[in-house]
């Protein structure tokens, strides 16, 4: 991702030398305010709903800020301290949601990195019907989480659901509590998420696979490399930037899980599958304690930033 952006910025900053003078001439034709007029509509949106919230969120987190109360006293880091001191009311719920999110992320990320790679390899060669299969794998992803949540809540229902009835038809246990008990609830949440989103990662892998020069494979074949050797020594190194992108975006997406647990397990059993994002929005938008919720958001964003940085470091290190 960083590489992509650097390339883009470099291109923007260094227009082709031949065009440089002419372009400057072109710019002078317009009014000096013209560039700002072009930028203005987006910039207003961006400042109010993209940039201001970053600063404002930190500001709110330093206050005792209840949406229903007129007074919003500055309390420094108290909201943060509450999240780390076991005698505060928010402590147990917060760390339970962190635990739930961590479990979900640790279980889903490896599957969402590996399974789509398998799909992409299956689809990589040209053969009749390839477009159809690619579309079929991608189709669930275009549906919203509300739809897939309701659908799987129904399919995974312990009594009426298709999953248990099918298992029963094959003589397997037909009373698994898929959405109401652990570890089944985790299997359900992770399984549904893999079903829902792995087409997305597969498409990204496919684009990456197609950028690996065919000569490299031919050269490897000439050298007598087996299919496994070619995968290890040509495909994987060629996919390294793509793997980094997929890994990073998948960790971020998994850590932000909300709709699946909100709709499918509804937090059950107890509150064990209630995730961080759910905790944050409930604290802020249902209990109106936006100060505390902002502190949670800031902490969460920092944690994810650290994970992303570690990711980039690890991959760079391995490359050397």
Partner 1 sequence: MTNVRRVARYTALVLITAVFVTPLVWMALTSLKTYDDAQQDPPSWLPSPFSTYGYDQILGNTANPVLRWFLNSMLAASLHTLLVLVTASMAAYALARLRFQGRKVSFALIVGTLFLPPTSLIIPNFVIADQLGWIDTLTVIVVPGAASAFGVFFLRQFFLSIPAELEEAAVLDGANHWQVFFQVLLPLSKPALATLAVLSFLTNWNDFLWPVYVLFSPERLTLPAGLGLLQGAYVTDYPVIMAGAVLASVPVLILFVLAQRHIIQGVSRSGLKG
Positions 59 through 78 that interact with partner 1 (CB under 8 A): 60, 67
Q: Which of 62, 107, 116, 152 binds partner 1 (CB under 8 A)?
A: 152
Pick from 221, 239, 3: which is nearest to 117 by CA? 239
CB of 107 to partner 1, least distance (A): 19
Binding mask 7-36 for partner 1 (x = CB under 8 A): xxx-xxx-xx--x--xxxxxx-xx---xxx
**200: its two tokens:** 């997305």
Residues 267-286 that bind partner 1 (CB under 8 A): 277, 280-281, 284-286
- Rule CB under 8 A: is residue 167 a binding residue for partner 1? no
Closer by beta carbon to partner 1, 68 or else 86: 68
Q: Where are the beta strands (DSSP E) in 204-296?
A: none
In the block, tokens 């669930």 appear at 140
Residues 125-144 that bind partner 1 (CB under 8 A): 127, 129, 131, 133-140, 142-144
- Rule CB under 8 A: is residue 290 a binding residue for partner 1? yes
Q: Which residues contact 107 (CB under 8 A, 6 or more apart)?
A: 186, 190
- Rule CB under 8 A: is residue 106 a binding residue for partner 1? no
Q: What is the DSSP letter of 231?
A: I
Closer by beta carbon to partner 1, 86 or else 297: 297
CB atoms inside a 10 Å sphere around CB 86: 7
CB of 27 to partner 1, least distance (A): 5
- Rule CB under 8 A: is residue 311 a binding residue for partner 1? no
């Amino acid at each position: 991702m960083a590489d992509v952006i650097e390339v883009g910025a470099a291109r923007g900053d260094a227009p082709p030398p031949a065009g440089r003078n002419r372009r400057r001439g072109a710019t002078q034709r317009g009014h000096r305010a013209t560039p700002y007029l072009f930028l203005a509509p987006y910039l207003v949106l961006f400042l109010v709903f993209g940039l201001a919230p970053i600063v404002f969120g930190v500001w709110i987190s330093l206050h005792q800020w209840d949406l229903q109360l007129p007074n919003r006293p500055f309390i420094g880091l108290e909201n943060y301290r509450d999240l780390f001191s076991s005698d505060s009311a928010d402590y147990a719920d917060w760390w339970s949601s962190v635990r739930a999110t961590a479990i979900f992320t640790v279980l889903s990320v490896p599957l969402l990195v590996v399974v789509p790679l398998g799909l992409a390899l299956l689809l990589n060669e040209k053969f009749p019907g390839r477009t159809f299969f690619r579309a079929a794998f991608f189709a669930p992803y275009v549906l919203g989480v509300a739809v897939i949540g309701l659908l799987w809540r129904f399919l995974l229902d312990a009594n009426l659901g298709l999953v248990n009835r099918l298992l029963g038809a094959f003589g397997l246990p037909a009373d698994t509590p898929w959405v109401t008990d652990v570890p089944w609830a985790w299997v359900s949440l992770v399984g549904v998420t893999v079903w829902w989103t792995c087409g997305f990662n597969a498409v990204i892998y496919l684009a990456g696979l197609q950028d690996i020069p065919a000569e490299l494979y031919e050269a490897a074949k000439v050298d007598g490399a087996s299919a496994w050797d070619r995968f290890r020594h040509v495909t994987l190194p060629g996919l390294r930037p793509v793997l980094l992108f997929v890994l990073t975006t998948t960790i971020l997406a998994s850590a932000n899980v909300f709709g699946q647990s909100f709709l499918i397990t509804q937090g059950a059993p107890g509150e064990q599958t209630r995730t961080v994002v759910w905790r944050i929005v409930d604290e802020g938008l249902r209990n109106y304690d936006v100060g505390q919720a902002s502190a949670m958001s800031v902490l969460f964003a920092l944690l994810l930033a650290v994970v992303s940085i570690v990711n980039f470091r690890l991959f760079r290190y391995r490359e050397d």
